[in-house]
Amino acid sequence: MTLTQLATVAKVPTTSGSRYLQQLCKHWSHNLAVEFTPEHGTIVFPKDARGADYPADALVTFDAQAEMLDVRIDASSVEQRDHMKGVVARHLDRFAFREAPLPFDWQDQ
């Protein structure tokens, strides 16, 4: 990507990070470009998904640890980054309904 990327990261406390990562990746693999293992996953959200018009695609990365799920969003605009924060949090909370709402302490970079 030649555009400046805007990133945000969150460390989400959970002992089920690998399970949630795999569930989310399987869920999104039906209509998005997804690659994942039990410990690491990436999802590409097209710049024009659902009528959006962002400068470039967004990339969401998950890394599961024993007590934490690391989430990173790389976006092409502040609006896309902020939108993706909500998308990721809502979907993760749906799969983690027993412990939702999970705390997301987003750190914009």
Question: Which tokens sit at 108?
Answer: 């914009």
pTM: 0.93
Instruction: Report phi then psi at 81, rounded to 5.
Output: -60, -45
Please check the confidence at residue 73 and state whether its pLDDT lies above 50: yes
Contact in structure between 58 and 82 (CB atoms under 8 Å): no
Q: Measuring CA to CA, how many Å separate 95 from each of 51, 86, 92?
A: 25, 14, 5
Please check the confidence at residue 5 and state whether its pLDDT lies above 90: no
For the domain spanning 6-100, the CATH number is 3.30.310.50
9 by DSSP, 3-state: which? strand
* pLDDT, tens digit, 9 for 90 and up, residues 36-72: 999 999 999 999 988 899 999 999 999 999 999 999 9
pLDDT band at 2 (very low <50, low <70, confident <90, very high): very low
Residue 4 has what pLDDT? 57
Residue 1 has what pLDDT? 40
Contact in structure between 92 and 27 (CB atoms under 8 Å): no
